[in-house]
Structure 1
Amino acid sequence: MQKIVLLRHGQSVWNQENRFTGWTDVDLSEQGRQQAVRAGQLLRRHGYGFDIGFTSVLKRAIKTLDITLEEMDLLWLPVQKSWRLNERFYGALQGLNKADSSLQFGAEQVQRWRRDPHEAPPALTRDDPRFPGHDARYQHLTARELPLTENLSQTLARVLPYWTEQIMGAIRSNQRVLVCAHGNSLRALVQYIDHLTDAEVTQLDIPCGVPLVYELDNDLNRLRHYYLE
Structure 2
Amino acid sequence: MSEAGRWIVLLRHGHSEWNLSDRFTGWTDISLTEIGVAEAVAAGRRLAQAGYAFDEVHGSVLRRVRQTADALLAAMGTPDVPLFTTWRLNERHYGALQGLNKREIFATWGEQASRRWWRGYYAPPPPLADDDPRHPRFDPLFAGIDRADLPASESLRDCQQRMLPYWNEVLRPRLMAGRRLLVISHGNTLRGLVMHLDGLSAEAMEKVEIASGVPLVYRFDAAGRVIGHAWLEGDAARVS
TM-score, length basis structure 2: 0.93
Aligned residues: 229
The structural deviation recorded for 1:74 is: 1.2
2:90 counterpart (72, 86, 89): 86
Amino acid at match of 1:173: A
2:170 counterpart (148, 166, 191): 166
SS at 1:149's partner residue? coil
Amino acid at match of 2:149: E
SS at 1:147's partner residue? coil
Q: Distance in 1 between matches of 2:16 and 2:106?
A: 21
Amino acid at match of 1:69: L
- Partner in structure 1 of residue 236 of structure 2: none
Amino acid at match of 1:143: R
Deviations 1:107-158 (A, max 9, x none): 1111101011101001001211111111122122222201010001010111
Task: Compute the RMSD of aligned alpha carbons.
Answer: 0.9
The structural deviation recorded for 1:99 is: 2.5
The structural deviation recorded for 1:172 is: 1.8
Q: Does 1:191 align with 2:184?
A: no
- Partner in structure 2 of residue 25 of structure 1: 29
Q: Does 1:134 align with 2:138?
A: yes
| Equivalent pair of 1:8/1:182 in contact (CA under 8 Å) | yes
SS at 2:58's partner residue? strand
| Equivalent pair of 1:10/1:33 in contact (CA under 8 Å) | yes
Q: Distance in 2 between matches of 1:197 and 1:218?
A: 25
- Partner in structure 2 of residue 152 of structure 1: 156
The structural deviation recorded for 1:213 is: 0.4
List structure 1 segments (4+ residues) > 4 angstroms apart after TM superposition.
Answer: none
- Partner in structure 2 of residue 51 of structure 1: 55
Q: Distance in 2 between matches of 1:170 and 1:16?
A: 37
Amino acid at match of 1:21: T
| Equivalent pair of 1:18/1:99 in contact (CA under 8 Å) | no
2:117 counterpart (113, 119, 124): 113
Q: Distance in 2 between matches of 1:117 and 1:96?
A: 21
SS at 1:144's partner residue? helix
Q: Does 1:34 align with 2:13?
A: no
| Equivalent pair of 1:210/1:228 in contact (CA under 8 Å) | yes
Q: Does 1:70 align with 2:74?
A: yes
Deviations 1:29-66 (A, max 9, x none): 11111111110011011010010000100011111011
Amino acid at match of 1:152: L
The structural deviation recorded for 1:103 is: 2.9
Structure 2 unaligned spans of 5+:
234-240
SS at 1:209's partner residue? coil
SS at 2:57's partner residue? strand
2:230 counterpart (215, 226, 229): 226
Q: Distance in 1 between matches of 2:231 and 2:111?
A: 30
- Partner in structure 1 of residue 179 of structure 2: 175
Q: Which range moves more in the overlay, 75-84 or 103-112?
A: 103-112
Deviations 1:85-108 (A, max 9, x none): 000000011000113212332211
SS at 2:149's partner residue? coil
Amino acid at match of 2:112: E
- Partner in structure 2 of residue 15 of structure 1: 19
Q: Which range moves more in the overlay, 107-116 or 84-93?
A: 107-116
Could you tell me the percent identity over the aligned residues? 43
